[in-house]
Structure 1
Amino acid sequence: MTPLIQDRTAALLLEGYGWLPDTRRRTPVGGTVRTRLLGRTAVALHGPEAVRFFYDEDHVRRTGALPGPVLDTLFGRGAVHTLDGADHRVRKALFVGRLTGPAAAASFAAHAETAWETAFAPAGRREVVLFDEAALVLARAVRDWAGLPYDDGQVQDLARDCVAMVDGFATPGPRHLRARRARSRQEEHLARAVEAARASAASAADTPFGAFVRHGEAEGRPLDLHTAAVELLNIARPAIAVAWFVAFAGHALHRWPETRARLRADEGDGGRPGPYATAFAHEVRRFYPFVPFIGGLAARDLEWRGEPVPEGALLLLDVYGQNHDPDLWPDPYRFDPGRFLSRPPHPDTLVPQGGGDTRTGHRCPGEDITVAALAALSRALARQTWTVPPQDLRIPLRRIPTAPRSGVRIVLPPA
């Protein structure tokens, strides 16, 4: 008789990022991690081979995999993340066409740098909370880059609400309620904007906003207003979530000040960030905690390393644990951008935003934009003069998502 496996949802909420790596360490070497979450049988996968297994659509489906509270805060009902097969490929193609590739990444990074320079231009600014400032900078950048319908006052609301959506998706209580209200507000705003754009020349604008206004689904019908709003938020929200990485970058520059000189001197083609800034961005994404794991459902009865996985079981891809696995990363708790200078990261090994193929699978289409923007803003931060006053810079691993407790306060010199 198979022993009853205890549900570990409460343990996940208490232990945070360490829950799955610790569960793996308590499992015999070579054994498969079996547990229960939200009342479902769950099997945890880890390593590059697991990434390939997890992102094979013959193995894992997304439809029904994300619980309602996550959809109502982070991704939105009907989002591309919830689709499979032809529906996913048609919807994903729109994201891929607009968000991937060097040109899109460079364009967004340039908008982010411009917004950063504008934010830090006013004389007399003395103290800045880096996380808050980065969220507003990135909101302005994604508005201008994507053609989103927000004036200067509304873009501050967009920044605040997108931060709330990410901050409250993985926890019960007030943070979760704030996230739900934030998503409702922004979905309503964007649905009205899409409706107005379809009745005007704005629908033809050659921007990501215009593309979603015009987009047709696999059946040839246009996106309904709600789904169009959801997907536009799935451009804005991840772009603004780069604020977490910018705050971590500030934390790294303070803790390892030798990286500041390397970043200041870094120069690529046309004045763009060069190889060290890109390596620094990759290491920030690897070293600091962001996504703990990613989930999907077994599409059929499967076998993983000789162990049966029943259809409908929850499959968990261990992200935080893989990015700190000593078998993949020598001395994984040492911050070392140099590990990415000699060669780019393998897509099945570095998975801070998930794995798989960007064009045909479920890998985040905005990953190139994330890296480019983080490299640009990290270099901009390194080139500024600032000090760090006494504050609480601890990063609590029990909190998902986490960040330095103070948000990283920096003091700028007098004008």
Structure 2
Amino acid sequence: MRTTLRDTPPLRDTPVPRTRGLDSTLALVRDGYDFISDRCRRYGSEVFETRLLFERTLCLVGAEAAKVFYDPDRFERAGAAPARLPKTLFGQGGVQGLDDAAHRSRKRMFMSIMTPESIRDLVDIFEQEWQAALDRWKRVQSIVLYEEVSWVLCRAVCRWAGVPLAAYDVRRRTADLQALIAAPAAVGPAYWRGRRARRDCERWLAEIVRQVRRGELTAPVGGVLHTFAEHREPDGHTFAEHREPDRQLLPDRVAAVELLNILRPVVAVDRFITFAALALHLHPRCREQLSDGSDPEVARRFTQEVRRFYPFFPAVVARVRTDFDWNGVRFPQGRRVLLGLYGTDHDPRLWSDPDQFRPERFVDRPEDPWTLIPQGGGDHHVNHRCPGEWITIELIQSAVTLLASGMSYDVPDQDLRVSLRQMPTLPNSRLVLANVSQR
């Protein structure tokens, strides 16, 4: 019988548990999403110490741990992530690595475009692109849903953001954005593919930013491209090459990094949408409840359970800003810390039957910024929580409605297993649909 945190004794006021051996990097690769939560169960603790890439690291799980982790007086992000993350996933100089006033200023730039009207515009464009793709899906015997949804999302987010994207370039740019997502946990060719994609995408978007700034490309005021191209850092947070009062704009490359921090996460919703389609297939009762598309609350609960249940980001990283004690454990300044997102979303102290897919758990459940954290915890405006989380929710919910009430299809025999060792993961077959038709 599998042991859970609920089965273990209360946290002891003793020295922090430590993993054995010189380094646990290979164990992290082997255990994947379960690495942190499995060891917390083993030690009966919300925190343990290990070595990852030969650096001492504290690992945490749970809502109370999340509250501590997102305290800006205790933790900082600058220099926290392993080098491969900014070189692939995040980009160097992006919002994920900023703290204090610099982070707040950059976060305001992101949040300024996350209005209900703007998000609705993106969803409308997504649905238009989905319908155009559906017209093509009906004419072929089968499709790989993950690949098709990726292209739909890439076209949609570029249209919404005002980023020019030629039809012949959709697959190339989508592949680059997918490579950024896959590279951090990859080794060998997949990692270097992500490094190359990072360079190519930054060059592409930096040139577009320059065209906007030179007046060669029109970007609607208030839109994503215009907002990012014209964003100015506050006094004291300008870049060295833009010291003059009229040169406080982000450097072209940093503006490109932040544009990628819009495009990449939206394309990454392809994984959640693929998992949503998988859940519809595995839980026919849910599909029946969603089949008429008349109750958005049912779709919302289903969407939230997809985000809770299926693996997305395994963990987030920070460094201790100043010495403090929590739950009898010393957190020394400079120590790297990982918070398990997947483990918290499956913590039996927070979720009954966490390994069961049950959308009804969200009936009358109040929103809590520390328990459902697939894209980070805390306040979107203040903390390092994904500013595009609302976009993610709305896109998944739209896709769920389109899948359940807007089209019919068969799911042929295929390998639908989801490995928790692969990060980020997908169904092994990437979900093949056959005989697609429109309802």
TM-score, length-scaled by structure 1: 0.94
Matched, 1:15 2:38: no
Q: Aligned pair 1:209/2:232, yes or no? A: no
Q: CA deviation at 1:175?
A: 1.2
% same residue: 39
Q: 2:286 aligns with which of 259, 272, 287?
A: 259
Once the two structures are TM-superposed, the CA of residue 414 in structure 1 deviates from its matched residue by: 6.6
- The amino acid that maps onto 2:332 is P
Unaligned runs of 5+ in 2: 1-14, 239-247
**Mean Cα deviation higher: 14-23 or 282-291:** 14-23
Partner of 2:420: 397
Q: 2:164 aligns with which of 149, 152, 158?
A: 149
In structure 2, distance between residues paired with 1:234 and 1:344: 29
Partner of 1:244: 271
> Residues 337-348 of structure 1: matches in 2 within 5 Å?
337-348=359-370
Q: 1:225 to 1:31 in 2, by over 3 A?
A: closer
Partner-residue secondary structure (3-state), 1:41: strand
TM-aligned CA deviation for residue 104 of structure 1: 3.0
SS in 2 for 1:412: strand
Amino acid in structure 2 at the alignment position of 1:16: G
**2:89 corresponds to which of 69, 74, 81:** 74
1:364 correspondence with 2:391: no
Out of 116, 121, 136, the position equivalent to 2:135 is 121
**Residue 410 (structure 2) aligns with:** 387
Equivalent pair of 2:301/2:363 in contact (CA under 8 Å): yes
SS at match of 1:265: coil
Separation of aligned partners in 2, 1:8 and 1:381: 41
One-letter code aligned to 1:113: E
CA contact (8 A) 1:111 1:145 kept: yes
Q: How many angstroms does 1:309 deviate by? A: 1.0
Distance 1:234 1:145 in 2: 14
Q: Report deviation, 1:261.
A: 1.7
For 1:364 and 1:357, how far apart are their aligned partners in 2? Answer: 9
State the AA in 2 paired with 1:405.
N
**Structure 1 contact 21–321 (Cα < 8 Å) conserved:** yes
Residue 375 to residue 26, structure 1, CA distance change in 2 (3 Å): same
Counterpart of 2:4 in structure 1 is none
Is this contact kept in 2: 1:104–1:369, CA < 8 A? no
CA contact (8 A) 1:126 1:414 kept: no
CA RMSD of superposed structures (Å): 1.8
Q: How far off is 1:14 after superposition?
A: 1.7
Q: Secondary structure at the match of 1:361?
A: coil
Please report the TM-score for the alignment, with normalisation by the length of structure 2. Answer: 0.89
- Whether the 8 Å CA contact 1:289–1:320 is kept in 2: the answer is yes
1:178-193 aligned at under 5 Å gives the runs 178-193=193-208
Change (3 A) 1:44 1:95: same
1:69–1:169 CA contact under 8 A, matched in 2: yes
Q: 1:304-352, CA deviations, whole angstroms, 9 ceiling, x for partnerless residues?
A: 2121111111111111111111111111111111111323531111000
Q: Alpha-carbon deviations, 1:2-44, whole Å to 9, x = none? A: 99863211111121111111111221x2463111112222112
Residues 124 and 14 from structure 1, CA distance in 2 versus in 1: closer, same or farther, beyond 3 angstroms?
A: same
The answer to which of 117-126 and 8-17 deviates more is: 117-126
How many angstroms apart in 2 are the aligned matches of 1:153 and 1:215?
A: 30
Deviation by residue 1:227-259 (Cα, 9 ceiling, x = unmatched)? 011100000000000000011011111111111
The alignment partner of 1:75 has SS state of coil
**Structure 1 residue 203 displacement after superposition:** 5.7
CA distance in 2, matches of 1:45, 1:323: 13
Cα offset, 1:412, TM superposition = 2.3
Matched, 1:407 2:423: no
2:376 pairs with 1:354: yes
Query: In the superposition, relative to structure 1, how do residues 224 and 258 fare at CA in structure 2: closer, same or farther (>3 Å)?
Result: same
Contact 2:46 2:60 in 1 (8 A): no
Give the letter for the 2:372 counterpart: L
Q: Give yes or no for the alignment of 1:320 onto 2:342.
A: yes
Residue-by-residue CA offset, 1:54-84 (whole Å, 9 max, x unaligned): 1111111000001111111100011100000
Please, which of 35, 53, 57 is the counterpart of residue 72 of structure 2?
Answer: 57
Give the C-alpha shift of residue 297 in structure 1. 0.3
SS across alignment from 1:113: helix
SS in 1 for 2:262: helix
Distance in 1, Cα, partners of 2:365 & 2:159: 33
Q: 2:233 touches 2:249 (CA, 8 Å); kept in 1?
A: yes
| Aligned equivalent of 1:271 | none
Asked whether the 8 Å contact 2:162–2:224 carries over to 1, the reply is yes
Q: Which amino acid aligns with 2:428?
A: R
- Taking the aligned partners of 1:337 and 1:31, their CA distance within structure 2 comes to 26
Structure 2 Cα separation of the partners of residues 202 and 91 of structure 1: 23
Of residues 169-178 and 3-12 in structure 1, the stretch that sits farther from structure 2 once superposed is 3-12
